[in-house]
């Protein structure tokens, strides 16, 4: 068969009435998990059936997952806001979560809508409520666009969900990093002992973070796990509501000493670190990113070239700005430490390992795809279909098994994951081999409910890669009671613990040998499953979240130097202010990458571009910290400038921070002119050079931006250092010079 894409849709021949009747029967028999699965199947066919969504919430609650139940009730409330029973059920879920005050409000709302509701009245009395007459029983307000914690500036922990929300704009079903973000943030919002917690997204146009109401985030996170169709009306509506809320929300007022935790990525966001730097200076913000891996630095051949460049620049900037980092394994922590010490050997950034050994019990249901409903045995491989996961090795191993034992004796291989990059060799082999097309199936866009069914139904799991930061599918396999077969490298020993079966990395013979034992020796697999059952179970996501919060508190006990205080520039060094700085062999980060971002101060700068950077009308400041051993004396600062398509006038001067600045010099540049500016100053030993560029008005570019003068590079040297001066001018002025 050809490569198959399965979106988790129910077979068209299935009767919705039969599905609902089966769900009702399972509910009446108190088979809560199976009933929830059946109701979820019905809701994919009829997403607006709010009364069935309430039943779905009941089953989730009874199965022991009040978080998921609350999300189901909230979605039903959105569709039918004035139903008394929905608010009663929301109150029950909140009470189970320990959120008594919120539960009280929901019970009061239910009683307002139905004054005869004895259940609501009883719950109010049970919670020792004030007399009903003394309470405001007005209907609840719409979902808040700005969380109360942020309006009162009391939040101490801010989760940046920019990366997750950007992923949701194009995708729905989460992959590994998205699953980490949704679960951790969900648990943080649900916890009652974690202080003020807020969710934000970065507005690149305004250079500010904007708050997002928790209910809006939770609704989107819940829907992402219930299906994979991005054109589903409920999904599109939730996504649009989030976009509108962020568009209308005011910028976040960051409270003093708050911690910004970025569980995803930010290297794709222009000038993100510049905003971090401003917030650190203004409010003492602590920036704490989560480093999931250093793969683009370690195995760049399995990553796109653009990703390698972006990651290297991001890593260099993280080393300059982070107050602490979180890593998902001891392996990743060691990788981070090695790269950070090569970049800044004198700095020790606190690094806390947060093992991602978490998986919730498989309470979701969902049907297997039609291909697997006949009971055909299969092995499950969950992971993006990309070069780094090396599906080619797995496919070749399956060919060896089929040719050695016959197709009927070999189970199918089911590969679940979105299509990534550089996987052409594996895909071509699959297309060319009838044996593989019959035995290996690739499923894309599988929602979490169906993924749970796939884990439950498999013989065991296979997970392969050239390198890993953690390997979340390995943990998910352990949680499902299925033995994972994994290569013995990087973090996979931490993820698989003593319960996984390990093969020699990239060895097809050893992989085939281990597959044969798990497939053809039932006693061996039973023995491994028994050992797995006796091992400690994976943690809950609530435990992961609590560990993150504890690490953030511990990180707050120390304070690292401010970003520019971590940098000491040598006299005579040339600093290019543009992207794509390849100043050393290999993919590793360099200080030059961070310096290009770090020298710009204030808000009157545009983003870095391939050629350089534009100033904005107003005041644009450059700050160049000098190494402590730099002697006082007369210095020269050279700047390579470029004018926009129209003539521009500006003022420029130089000085030392805390000292006397030279007078402004008026300059006028012709359209497109390249010019060099030389400024002199009397330096203070170990000080910081300040260059101020001012313009009263700018030039509008075709893309609508108002710009002033452009800057390509700068260099500071001693006045008598003729070699440095000549070298800079030669390199900047001559487009191509061949040295003999």
User: What are the backbone angles phi and psi of residue 363, rounded to the nearest 5°?
Assistant: -90, -20
Mean pLDDT of 333-350: 95
Point out the least confidently predicted range of 1-15, 554-568, 718-732: 1-15
Point out the least confidently predicted range of 154-158, 571-575, 602-606: 154-158
Residues 100/102/104/107 CA torsion (nearest 10 deg):
-130
Point out the least confidently predicted range of 71-80, 156-165, 346-355: 71-80
pLDDT of residue 60: 86
pLDDT digits over 261-312, tens only? Answer: 999 999 889 889 999 999 999 999 999 999 999 999 999 999 988 889 889 9
Domain with CATH 2.60.120.260 in the chain: 567-733
Largest CA distance in the chain: 96
CA 684 – CA 404 distance, rounded (Å): 77
pLDDT of residue 377: 95
Q: How many CB atoms lie within 10 A of CB 74?
A: 19
Does pLDDT of 463 surpass 90? yes
Return the H-helix or E-strand segment holding 354.
Answer: none
Structure tokens at 115: 């004054």
Question: 189: which residues sit within 8 A by CB, 6+ positions away?
Answer: 197, 199, 214, 217, 218
Residues 707/711/712/717 CA torsion (nearest 10 deg):
-170
Length of the chain: 740
pLDDT digits over 494-528, tens only? Answer: 999 999 999 999 999 999 999 999 999 989 999 99
pLDDT of residue 609: 92
Does pLDDT of 537 surpass 80? yes
Mean pLDDT of 191-195: 56
pLDDT of residue 551: 96
Architecture category of domain 370-537 in CATH: 3-Layer(aba) Sandwich (3.40)
pLDDT of residue 142: 37
Across the strands, what pairs with 602? none
Question: 252: which residues sit within 8 A by CB, 6+ positions away?
Answer: 150, 158, 198, 200, 208, 209, 210, 211
Does pLDDT of 8 surpass 60? no
Domain with CATH 3.40.50.2000 in the chain: 370-537
Q: How many CB atoms lie within 10 A of CB 467?
A: 19
Question: In terms of CATH, what superfamily is 567-733?
Answer: Galactose-binding domain-like (2.60.120.260)
User: What are the backbone angles phi and psi of residue 673, rounded to the nearest 5°?
Assistant: -70, 140
**Correct CATH for 16-134 of 3.40.50.970, 1.25.40.10, 1.20.1070.10, 1.10.3130.10:** 1.25.40.10
Listed residue (576, 564, 369, 379) closest to 461, CA to CA: 379
- Whether residue 87 contacts residue 107, with contact meaning beta carbons closer than 8 Å, is answered with yes
**Correct CATH for 148-353 of 3.30.450, 1.10.760, 3.40.50, 1.10.3470:** 3.40.50
pLDDT of residue 141: 34
Mean pLDDT of 601-607: 88
Structure tokens at 301: 């051949």
Domain with CATH 1.25.40.10 in the chain: 16-134
pLDDT of residue 3: 34
Does pLDDT of 104 surpass 90? no
The pLDDT-based confidence of 2 (bands split at 50, 70, 90) is very low
Does pLDDT of 568 surpass 60? yes
pLDDT of residue 404: 97
pLDDT of residue 6: 34
pLDDT digits over 356-395, tens only? Answer: 999 876 554 566 777 777 788 999 999 999 999 999 999 9
pLDDT digits over 631-679, tens only? Answer: 678 899 999 999 999 999 999 999 987 667 789 999 999 999 999 999 9
Structure tokens at 678: 């030389």
Instruction: Give percent above pLDDT 70 in the chain.
Output: 89
| Unique residue bearing structure tokens 């670190």 | 273
- Whether residue 329 contacts residue 355, with contact meaning beta carbons closer than 8 Å, is answered with yes
CA 617 – CA 696 distance, rounded (Å): 6
Strands 633-642, 710-718: pairing kind: antiparallel
Structure tokens at 642: 């470029």
pLDDT of residue 355: 98
Residues 667/668/671/674 CA torsion (nearest 10 deg):
-30
**Mean pLDDT for the chain?**
86
Structure tokens at 199: 């969710």
Does pLDDT of 13 surpass 50? no
Point out the least confidently predicted range of 171-180, 378-387, 424-433, 525-534: 171-180
| Unique residue bearing structure tokens 């992207």 | 579
pTM, two decimals, is 0.78
Does pLDDT of 711 surpass 90? yes
More reliable by pLDDT, 15 or 134: 15
């Amino acid at each position: 068969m050809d490569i198959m894409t399965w979106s988790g849709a129910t077979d068209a021949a299935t009767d919705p009435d039969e599905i609902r009747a089966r769900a009702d029967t399972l509910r009446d028999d108190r088979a809560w998990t199976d009933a929830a699965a059946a109701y979820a199947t019905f809701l994919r066919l009829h997403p607006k059936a709010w009364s069935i969504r309430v039943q779905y919430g009941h089953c989730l609650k009874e199965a022991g997952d009040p978080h998921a139940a609350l999300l189901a009730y909230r979605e039903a409330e959105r569709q039918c806001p004035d139903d008394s029973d929905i608010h009663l059920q929301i109150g029950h879920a909140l009470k189970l979560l320990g959120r008594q005050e919120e539960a009280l409000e929901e019970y009061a709302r239910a009683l307002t809508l139905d004054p005869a509701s004895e259940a609501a009245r009883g719950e109010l009395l049970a919670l020792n409520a004030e007399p009903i007459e003394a309470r405001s029983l007005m209907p609840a307000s719409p979902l808040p666009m700005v969380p109360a914690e942020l309006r009162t500036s009391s939040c101490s922990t801010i989760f940046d969900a920019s990366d997750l929300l950007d992923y949701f704009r194009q995708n729905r079903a989460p992959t590994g990093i998205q699953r980490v973000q949704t679960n951790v943030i969900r648990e943080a919002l649900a916890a009652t002992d974690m202080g003020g917690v807020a969710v934000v997204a970065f507005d690149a146009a305004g250079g500010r973070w904007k708050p997002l109401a928790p209910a809006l985030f939770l609704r989107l996170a819940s829907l992402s796990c219930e299906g994979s169709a991005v054109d589903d009306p409920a999904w599109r509506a939730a996504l649009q509501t989030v976009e509108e809320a962020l568009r209308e929300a005011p910028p976040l007022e960051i409270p003093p000493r708050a911690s910004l935790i970025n569980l995803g990525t930010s290297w794709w966001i222009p000038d993100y670190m510049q905003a971090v730097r401003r917030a650190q200076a203004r409010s003492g913000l602590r920036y704490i990113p989560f480093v999931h891996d250093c793969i683009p630095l370690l195995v760049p051949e399995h990553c796109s070239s653009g990703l390698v460049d972006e990651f290297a620049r991001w890593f260099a900037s993280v080393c300059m700005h982070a107050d602490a980092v979180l890593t998902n394994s001891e392996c990743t922590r060691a990788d981070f430490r090695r790269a950070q010490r090569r970049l800044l050997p004198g700095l020790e950034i606190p690094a806390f390992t947060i093992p991602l050994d978490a998986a919730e019990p498989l309470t979701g249901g969902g049907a297997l795809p039609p291909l697997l409903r006949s009971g055909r045995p299969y092995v499950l491989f969950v992971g993006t279909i990309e070069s780094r996961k090396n599906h080619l090795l797995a496919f070749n191993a399956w060919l060896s098994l089929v040719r050695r034992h016959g197709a009927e004796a070999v189970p199918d291989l089911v590969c679940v994951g979105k299509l990534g990059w550089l996987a052409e060799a594996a895909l071509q082999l699959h297309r060319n081999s009838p044996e593989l097309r019959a035995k290996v199936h690739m499923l894309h866009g599988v929602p979490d409910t169906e993924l749970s069914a796939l884990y439950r139904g498999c013989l065991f799991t296979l997970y392969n890669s050239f390198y890993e930061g953690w390997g979340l599918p390995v943990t998910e396999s352990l949680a499902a009671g299925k033995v994972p077969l994994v290569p013995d490298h990087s973090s996979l020993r931490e993820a698989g613990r003593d319960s996984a079966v390990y093969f020699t990395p990239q060895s097809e013979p050893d992989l085939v040998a281990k597959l044969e034992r798990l497939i053809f020796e039932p006693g061996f697999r039973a023995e491994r499953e028994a050992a797995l059952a006796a091992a400690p179970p994976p943690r809950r996501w609530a435990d992961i979240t609590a560990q993150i919060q504890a690490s953030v508190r511990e990180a707050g006990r120390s304070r690292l130097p401010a970003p520019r205080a971590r940098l000491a520039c040598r006299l005579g060094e040339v600093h290019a202010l543009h992207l794509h700085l390849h100043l050393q062999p290999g993919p590793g980060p360099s200080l030059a990458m961070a310096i290009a971002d770090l020298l710009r101060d204030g808000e009157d700068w545009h983003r870095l571009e391939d050629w350089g950077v534009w100033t904005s009308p107003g005041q644009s400041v450059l700050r160049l910290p000098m190494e402590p051993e730099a002697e006082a004396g007369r210095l020269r600062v050279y700047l390579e400038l470029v004018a926009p398509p129209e003539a521009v006038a500006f003022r420029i001067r130089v000085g030392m921070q805390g000292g006397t600045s030279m007078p402004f010099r008026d300059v006028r540049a012709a359209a497109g002119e390249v010019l060099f500016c030389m400024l002199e100053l009397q330096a203070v030993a170990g000080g910081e050079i300040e260059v101020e560029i001012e313009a009263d008005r700018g030039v509008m570019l075709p893309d609508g931006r108002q710009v002033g003068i452009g800057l390509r590079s700068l260099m500071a040297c001693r006045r008598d250092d003729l070699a440095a001066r000549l070298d800079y001018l030669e390199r900047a002025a001559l487009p191509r010079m061949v040295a003999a």
